[in-house]
Structure 1
């Protein structure tokens, strides 16, 4: 049976916080700056004219625009209801053979393991190495026969980022073992184009998949739109699986994504603002004596002070932030990282509000 999370300290349902403007949401890595200008008007216009009509099941125009932006062919792109659906579609597509298994890292996005479980496939989970992506461990697991591998880069929840050599090492191992390797790059827009090593490999014809989303840096989390890039053969197989849900990306989502692609300067501004405020957040944590890890994303993993070698009580701190200050952060105990919190990078004003709350709760001056 599903776990009743409502009984956990500091857990609040969406119903309890919706419409309450005094709550500060720093637990879902959302973009506080919103979508590009004009997107809301486009979505409203699309709904007012065509709410009674099904969307384009092929996402033809969106795939064409994505192909232009990323300099690939349209048949190298699949669009989904967020990257969550693409993760599930990949599992349904590449874990069909008896004995197939998936490999991924520990303490990361749980959708990789739950999607594999949904199709009856076991997961080989590789522990992190000093909060970094365990390249050697993933490589070894692929060579042992994993059919599918998910690598989150930058890694949620630590923010760790792979370099070119590490990306190529993983791709080489996947091609030699026959593993379908998926780089989940939901947060790579915050790191910037200089780190698009997996995308470069796709353009070069390597056998690898890359997933991206409009939910994070583009500020379109509500409409649910994500996409995968890769060789036509792998994208085609995902597309065949997706025919079970022919209208998975609605009209408003397609329109919003198209509008976003017309405003690349918005992405540049969001990246710059995120970098600036992330630095402020890290300096704030330093001033409060809270340890944290280097990150290339729009979140920071924070160490809660404990006694001696014992981890701090991150569950209690998250609960008190919510109950006493209406600030939501992610307690990472549930992901196997007790004593740590994941804090989204908000605006400067939001960081200042968080700092005030933490100063009170931790008894800092």
Structure 2
């Protein structure tokens, strides 16, 4: 297995960051001015309630402010969720080969992680139901939709079927929609179903289609009763979301043109790379997001090593439990060109 020296290395030899599922910066004059104004106030503590940002998020989704919990990235939100709900060895479910943060936070808080098999790289409703029947004392069930790192999607109706079924057992269903805007959230998202389902929590991120990865902004959406449990835990960290992130988040959420540009560019890059995979008969999973999972051994055995020698880093998905597979995403056309040239050069090497 090839091991990338650092999860987010910024050394000079990393020329193309295909491993981090980033979209670039997309600066605008409004964001630049907001950053400059916020920097002048870095000597002051941020608003511990993130009130302005919470109100903008609530308005963005047509919900109430008490339906929103903002965190320092989704990593923190997931961490606090596990802290709130997984005490005394309680269990959490999540799919095989998914974002490792669910398992990490579960383990750190003394919970027990239960893995649910994928079917053909897709989350399967039947597998989730069967796994719950074998583990009736589960407290949390994580569903990553679209799935990371596979890029596959579960229909809204299927998710709500699971939510209703799990509610019979008192299980909180956490639907991670970090990548949902790439596929059309109005069709697949369950964010507007929270008031009809008392056991539903939806996660969203500003790192992806709003291009704010460096500022760390994520949020949970649910009924007030569920979020109050998380708020109680978060009291230990009153200034979690920094002032600059709060201000820029407000601007980013209001800029619909920038948001759509990010989506269009990212989908264009992904589509181009998938076309090259098809033309070279390289195994990959058709993706609905800004990243693609492919079998790097179907290019050549040393493909990741050859990419790293070129300053191109990709995500080796051994970490996700998918040996032989890698995930790639693209910030620029230059990233796409360099990667596709390498594919053509080393395919069948």
Relative to the length of structure 2, the TM-score reads: 0.93
Among 343, 346, 349, the alignment partner of 1:361 is: 346
State the match for 1:348 in structure 2: 333
Q: Is the 8 A contact 1:54 1:251 kept in 2?
A: yes
State the match for 1:13 in structure 2: 6
Q: Is the 8 A contact 2:300 2:348 kept in 1?
A: no
State the match for 1:100 in structure 2: 90
Among 44, 49, 74, the alignment partner of 1:58 is: 49
Q: Is the 8 A contact 1:300 1:345 kept in 2?
A: no
Q: Is the 8 A contact 1:83 1:211 kept in 2?
A: yes
Instruction: Give unpaired runs (5+ residues) of structure 1.
Output: 1-7
Deviations 1:288-326 (A, max 9, x none): 2212112111100112345xxxx974xx32122011x11
TM superposition shift of 1:345: 3.4
State the match for 1:82 in structure 2: 73
Relative to the length of structure 1, the TM-score reads: 0.89
Cα distance in 1, alignment partners of residues 287 and 9 from structure 2: 31
Cα distance in 1, alignment partners of residues 316 and 245 from structure 2: 30
Cα distance in 2, alignment partners of residues 348 and 149 from structure 1: 38
State the match for 2:209 in structure 1: 217
Cα distance in 2, alignment partners of residues 226 and 272 from structure 1: 22
Query: What is the aligned-residue RMSD (CA, Å)?
Result: 2.0
Cα distance in 2, alignment partners of residues 104 and 187 from structure 1: 17
The worse-fitting range, judged by mean Cα deviation, of 278-287 and 223-232 is: 278-287
State the match for 2:251 in structure 1: 259
Cα distance in 2, alignment partners of residues 288 and 320 from structure 1: 18
1:320 paired with 2:312, answer no
1:240 paired with 2:232, answer yes
Q: Is the 8 A contact 1:192 1:271 kept in 2?
A: no
**Number of positions where the alignment pairs a residue of Structure 1 with one of Structure 2:** 347
Q: Which runs of 4+ in 1 moved over 4 A?
A: none
Cα distance in 2, alignment partners of residues 36 and 211 from structure 1: 26
Cα distance in 2, alignment partners of residues 288 and 12 from structure 1: 30
1:332 paired with 2:317, answer yes
1:154 paired with 2:146, answer yes
TM superposition shift of 1:277: 2.1
State the match for 1:131 in structure 2: 121
TM superposition shift of 1:106: 1.0
Q: Is the 8 A contact 1:159 1:294 kept in 2?
A: yes
Cα distance in 2, alignment partners of residues 237 and 41 from structure 1: 36
